[in-house]
Structure formats: structure tokens, C-alpha cells
Chain A
């Protein structure tokens, strides 16, 4: 138990000790995962709505692919992104400037980490959104249309009706990336002051035998997740007295 007590003390010291390096790591973690989540939402919510609300041939296959994407191993995503942007990767020989010049510049940068996290997060947001939208009766959209709603207004109403599910999708998307280490480590390189985030820092400290520091960072990470998820839950439940 002593190790956990010491880690808690370490976490408090890190948080309130004024260590600029720690704050930088926390800020970068939130920036990378926050931006990734935003992009995943911009892609995943509309796509989830369309798949969840429309009937078309091949829909079952697409849903199966999205569900598979929800379980993508981050380290594999990191590897694929690494290969795509690496100067020595298979696409570098494609003689296209984007592969041979532009993308290699992204390796070990924040944008590369964001790309990897968007790939991990988007299927999570899409999959849970489509399930939530699918649970809203199609007749409700017909009703909205019959009162004069356009396609976009119909979509907003549906997402509002499915708000609990959509917030769960956002929470799932955030949970899938704030805690992942495989992808950000591979494409970010864990460079101090540049691409080091909380999970890669924990991995590094663990590797160096600084268990107390690693666990302290872990406690801070869990605390941050709790605060953010609590925010999602409150957003989910606002207006709830009119939903029962």
C-alpha cells in the first residue's frame, strides 16, 4: 500500500509543485486528445447519423467494419501511420510529393499523433452514434419532416433525441485516446518538450524504474479523465427532467 500512498503524494507534488515540465506534458496530452476528439466528432457523428438513419445495401458490412474499427489496437494504428508517413515507408516510392516530401515531415510531431488518435477515436464515436441514432424511431424523423424540417434540421432533432447515446459516443471516443500509449509513442517518439504526453511519460518513467513518479502521473491522468467524463455525464443529463 505504501507505494500507492507515495504515488498519491507524488501526484500532489507534481500538480501543485509548479514543475513546468509536468504542466507541459498535461497540456500537450489534453491538446492532442482534445483536438483528435474534436476531429473524430466532426467525422464520426455525421457518419454515424447517416449509417444509423438510412437503409442501403451494404449497410451491414459497413457497420461490421465500424465495429471492427472500435477495437483497433492503438499500436497497430501507430504502426500503420508510421509506415504511411515514414520516408522509408512503402509509399515514399510512389513519387508523389505528398508521400515523399510532405508527410515525412510529420513524423515525431503533434500532427502525426493527432492523425493516429483520430483513426482510433473516429470508429468509437461513429459506432456508438449509429447505435444511438438507430434507436430513435424512423417515424420521429418522418414527423419532423412533416412539420417542415429540412434534412439537416431532421438530423439535429434526431441527434438531440439520441443525446444520451451521442454523449456516450463522445465519452467513448475520448476514453479511447486519452489513455492510449502505443500509437502516440510510435508516431510521436516521446520527445521531451515536443511530443511527450502523459501516457508516454508514464511508460518512460516505468522503464527507468521510477515507479512512484509513473504512478503519480497515472493518478493525475485518471483524475483528469474523471473530471472530463463527469463533465460529459452532466451534459448528458442536463434537461433530463423533460426526458422521462
Chain B
């Protein structure tokens, strides 16, 4: 799964200001600021219980915060505001299709909005076509497969042409094969529709495919927010690094920058990274393990586009299902590479072995050290 071309968000559609939610005196959500921009898909990513679904329900006016304000197009709105709620539609983890036909389900919101019957039928047909279920109007909604049911749930929301689409772990109940297919479809539909969407998930791959921006949440707080590549590429602290499966961020200093490529001093090593940041500033640097390629130490490499190559020593090898995560060190620098078991076997990797690590400048994610903990 690869990240799609990110859409540039417009003005803030929904803004949360100092939103706090308490249950039985326990604070489960504390968000000083959050903005969902027009036309973007913003992913709330985090482990179970991190508060992302609660934040979605607050922003979707489905639940009232204990304190704080929600603004829609700059106007304060509350949970009972029907006019504001009519501008939104949601898809949840479980599709919760109502008893009846697929058509009755998809038309439900249209009927609530008193859309004339003829127009309803046309819009339902178009929405079902859009999610790949054209012609299923007369089928029983309760006899659909999990993937089909979730597509119907998406059609039921999309048919309303909502200003804001809320998606709360919409694919987490599905088996991996259907999920992979639907993630790609959802991404295409969302970007094609130009819908402003808030998408909750705990799956990083899903976040990277569907998201334009991402906010990582932990224990009711947003701990990292920004563009998908930036957030997923450069962990800002150990918790975020651990959550997104990277090593803790490397601290470095840009010693030179030219044509979008910076020379970054990290410990005793020099890395090349793609960034528009100028020379002279401190940065955090991250390299995703899957972006690093390993070679035998003595091999003569042909010229390549990889700007970074260095001799590294294997520190540890960790089994991760079908892959191996190899911890590497060189010149005070610590990296990790992800490779298949067969590759690890062929390279005879074991702690202490020296190998050659290659990665492109585009694989080196760079963020200015002073800006990384922005809340919005």
C-alpha cells in the first residue's frame, strides 16, 4: 500500500478548542486545539482507548464534551444542532445496516431530509454505483457479506453529499484481503469526491493510504500532528516511534542544503535527506526500516540513485512474522532495516556481522526539531 498524493486542505471546517471529555471524573480526552480542513482526509491514528473515537463523536456533534467548544465554519455548534448535524454523515466500525433492503438503507438519510422519492431513487442508484454495488437496491441488507455491508454503509453516508464525512474504524472488522481492497477503494472514493473526511483508525498502513494529514493520539491527547509523510516518517519521541514501528528519532544538524537535498550531521555520520529546510538548523531524522537495503560488506556496488551508503554492524535481529527487523549501528548512528527471512538467511545476518546499508535521500524524513510537537 502506498500513500496517495496528498490533497491540500483549505480553510478549517471544524475546529475544536480546549475540548475535554470526562467520564466519572476521569479525563479521557484533552485536546487544546484541532482543525479539520476543507477537502482533506484527516486521520486520527492511535491505539485502542487513545480517545480517537471520542474525539470523532465530539467533532461529529454526536456527543457533548465536558468542556470546550466546537466550531463549524467559525460558528460555535453543540451536539443538538440539527442543522449542523445534517451537514455530516458517519460510517462506523460495524456497518449497522437497518432491517430492510439495501435501497431503504441508503435512502434513509435522504428520507430524513425529505428528498422527493424519484430523486431519492436516482441518488441511491448513483451512490451504490460509486461504491461498486450497482443494481443491488432490492437485496436484503442483512444478507450482505462484511465488505458489501461496509460499502453500503459508505454509500448511505456518501449519498447525502455531506460537508463532513466521519469514518470510525470503518474497515477494522473485515478480513485482511477485503480490507486491503476496500482501503484502496475508500481512498479513491474519498479523494475523488473532494469530501472533507475525518478517519479514525489504529492501522498505520490504512492511515498512510487514505490520509492527507494525520494526528497520532495517545491517552486522550494528540501527541503528533501533520502531513502523513512527515508524521509517519519522523517519530518525535520514543512512544510515537514505538507506535509507528520505528526506532527513536535521530537528532541531527543540517550542515549544508542545496536543491532540496540536505547534508545532515547525525552523530559522527553524514546523511543525505530530501528537505526544504535550510542549513544551520537542528532537525529530527527518521528512516523507515523498509526503505533500507542491505548488501554483503565486501561487494562492489554499481552506481545507483541511493545517496546514502555506509558500513553498519548488526546489533540484533528480531522476528516479526514473515519479516526480520535488524537493528544496525554505525558511527554512533542507530538504524533499523526490515527484510524477509530469506534475505536475512542469504546474508547470514547475526549480531556482530558487518554489512553495507543503502537508502535514498528521499527515504530520509526530516523535521525541524523545534516544530515537531504541534497540536494542530
Contacts and interface: CB of A to CB of B under 8 A. Distances in A.
B100 A242 contact: yes
A163 B98 CA distance: 12
Contacts of A243: 99, 140, 142
A237 to B, nearest CB: 12
Interface string B98-116: 1111001000110011000
Interface string A54-72: 0000000000000000000
Interface string A129-143: 000000001011011
Interface in A169-226: none
Nearest to A149: B112
Interface in A98-157: 137, 139-140, 142-150, 153, 157
A143 B92 contact: yes
B235 to A, nearest CB: 33
B142 A244 contact: yes
Interface in B212-238: none
Interface stretch (B82-90, B127-135, B240-248, B345-353): B82-90
Given A139-B92, A139-B94, A242-B142, A146 B99 contact: no
Interface residues of A, number: 22
A146 B90 contact: yes
Looking at chain A's contact residues, the main secondary structure is: helix
Contacts of B85: 145-146, 148
A149 B156 CA distance: 13
A161 interface: yes
Looking at B96, B100, B143, B157, which has the most chain A CB atoms within 10 Å of its CB?
B96
A88 to B, nearest CB: 52
Given A140-B96, A239-B100, A242-B100, A146 B88 contact: yes
Nearest to A146: B90
A31 interface: no
Contacts of A137: 94, 96
Nearest to B109: A147
Given A153-B112, A242-B141, A244-B140, A145 B100 contact: no
Contacts of A157: 98, 108
Contact of B82 (A142, A148, A160, A241): A148
Nearest to B166: A146
Nearest to A240: B99
B138 to A, nearest CB: 10
A184 B78 CA distance: 51
Interface in A157-171: 157, 160-161, 163
A148 B160 contact: yes
A137 B101 CA distance: 19
Contacts of B156: 147
Contacts of B141: 242
Contacts of A242: 99-101, 104, 140-142
A194 B140 CA distance: 51
B90 A147 contact: yes
A161 B104 CA distance: 13
Among A147, A149, A161, the most chain B Cβ lie within 10 Å of the Cβ of: A147
A244 B88 CA distance: 30
30 contacts: A137-B94, A137-B96, A139-B94, A140-B96, A140-B98, A143-B92, A143-B96, A145-B85, A146-B60, A146-B62, A146-B88, A146-B89, A146-B90, A146-B92, A147-B89, A147-B90, A147-B109, A147-B156, A147-B157, A148-B109, A148-B113, A157-B98, A157-B108, A163-B99, A242-B99, A242-B101, A242-B104, A242-B140, A244-B142, A244-B143
Interface of A: 137, 139-140, 142-150, 153, 157, 160-161, 163, 239, 241-244
Given A239-B99, A242-B99, 8 more contacts: A139-B94, A142-B62, A142-B92, A146-B85, A147-B112, A148-B113, A160-B98, A239-B100
